[in-house]
Amino acid sequence: MKKINLVILFSGNGKNMENIIFKLHKKQFQILGHCVEICVRAALSNKKNAYGLKRLENLNTQYYEKIDSIILEHANFANREEFDRQLANVLEKYKPDLVVLAGFMRILSPFFVNQFQIINIHPSLLPKYKGAHAIKDSFESKDREVGVSVHWVDEGLDSGRIILQASRLRQEDEDFEFFENQIHKIEYDLYPQAIIKAIEEGLKS
């Protein structure tokens, strides 16, 4: 059996992280003829008050081997490069096959991006509506077709090659709260699928 190690990075609520752990952690999949077990080795937040840390604490009651919970606050570093170098040092001991960004509200430096295979989820149909306000921008656009993208992380802003996308057609009378909830539902379905596809790409290379 082949083990695939994941490390998840998050900054806030942690719902995507929780969903990934529920659906993938310690589970086995047949990928390209390989029996693969996915293991979330650690989850790291750059904010000490992120609610996702509480989610992780609750999740860890369900597993014999605990998922390491790490806090590395970017505010304690002089600049982005210093933070990213320390972040890379922390992650290196887990030997991650894939670093999964799940609401990690940091733009990563070229140094970090070149150290790991990294994927990110973005709540728009890229290349539309890049950046931190994608749901709001998508909602205000009045586009009929809206959705979510999972992409490889490169040195640009939400510019990496797309792994998977999923969309829905919205109705004219949707308010923002309903719209946002529907986008999140797509995320929770799409991200585990995209992680499997990213692992598949890794096994091919």
All structural domains of the chain: 2-204 (3.40.50.170)
* pLDDT (mean) for 185-203: 96
* 99-115: pLDDT as tens digits: 999 999 999 999 999 99
171: pLDDT strictly greater than 80: yes
Q: Say how far apart CA 84 and CA 9 lie, in whole Å.
A: 12
Q: Say how far apart CA 82 and CA 90 lie, in whole Å.
A: 13
* 45-66: pLDDT as tens digits: 999 999 999 999 999 998 888 9
Identify whether 133 is a catalytic site residue.
no
Q: What is the mean pLDDT of the chain?
A: 96
In the set 25, 34, 74, 122, the catalytic residue is 122
Instruction: Please say whether the beta carbons of 121 and 150 come within 8 A.
Output: yes
Q: Say how far apart CA 205 and CA 196 lie, in whole Å.
A: 15
User: What pTM did the predictor assign?
Assistant: 0.96
Nearest to 21 by CA among 40, 34, 44, 43: 40
